[in-house]
Amino acid sequence: MERPRVLTVSCKECGSQFETLRRDPRVYCSRPCMLTGRAKAKRRRVARICKQCGRTFEIHRAHAERDRGRHTGQFCSRPCTWAYWRAHPEEHPSRRQKGINGRLDSQGYRWRDGKREHRLVMEEMLGRRLDRWETVHHKNGVRSDNRPENLELWAGKQPSGVRAQDALAARLEDLEARVVALEMWRSRNSNRVNAKHESQTFARGASAP
């Protein structure tokens, strides 16, 4: 039985039924539908749901993939954006970048109460506010280590890197902490081995006639 040469398919754009040849099938029923469908495919837009009003809208796929830039696909319009940030100021990107609740920024500094924590610690140590030209140096080079003994006040800009003696002292302190942790681990394991050996000895003595 010979197969029909004509097929009935649905248009990819409008959904209407139309006939097309089996050897050369079409996906659009007309030229307007073809132009519209190709334009949508070329734009490569994706659907998102607005966090404020819940409406479905479309954004460029590149913005959705990298999730940054002027339009990240969270809101459908500026009024929705402003209304959401007024209702949730703690989630604003500018507040998140400052590291609320001890988070780190892109440069490795820890933030607290809207300021970098190392400057707050130095102000608490000195009992006064720091001037704008005063900077705080981390001796061991770890910007998130804001212990008072690791901070040093500088009157002006500080050079890159750390002093050799400071780096050596930080390395020795780290090695000492590792040695202490290793000794604690060995003592715990030795206690476990001794307890296991005593339990086995007791069990053997109890089973003996």
The verdict on residue 128 lying in a domain is: yes
Arithmetic mean of pLDDT, 37-60:
82
Least confident of 68-72, 85-89, 155-159: 68-72
Domain that holds residue 135: 108-173
Please name the residue that has the structure tokens 């069990």.
203
Q: Pull the structure tokens for residue 168.
A: 């050596």
Please name the residue that has the structure tokens 């608490």.
124
Q: Percent of the chain at pLDDT above 90?
A: 13
The verdict on residue 204 lying in a domain is: no
Domain count, the chain: 2
Greater pLDDT, 136 or 208 = 136
Are 48 and 57 contacting, i.e. CB atoms less than 8 angstroms apart?
yes
Q: Pull the structure tokens for residue 143.
A: 């910007």
Q: What is the pTM of this model?
A: 0.39
* Nearest to 65, CA basis, from 96, 44, 81: 44
Residue 99 confidence (pLDDT): 44
Residue 69 confidence (pLDDT): 46
Residue 197 confidence (pLDDT): 63
pLDDT at 80 > cutoff 50 = yes
The verdict on residue 83 lying in a domain is: no
Q: How confident is the model at residue 53 (pLDDT cuts 50, 70, 90)?
A: very high
The verdict on residue 81 lying in a domain is: no
* pLDDT per residue as tens digits for the range 160-188: 767 777 777 877 888 888 888 888 888 88
The verdict on residue 56 lying in a domain is: no
The verdict on residue 103 lying in a domain is: no
Residue 101 confidence (pLDDT): 55
The verdict on residue 159 lying in a domain is: yes
Q: How confident is the model at residue 66 (pLDDT cuts 50, 70, 90)?
A: low
pLDDT at 22 > cutoff 90 = no
The verdict on residue 88 lying in a domain is: no
Average of per-residue pLDDT values in the chain: 80
Residue 58 confidence (pLDDT): 82
* Nearest to 139, CA basis, from 126, 114, 122, 120: 122
Q: How confident is the model at residue 25 (pLDDT cuts 50, 70, 90)?
A: confident
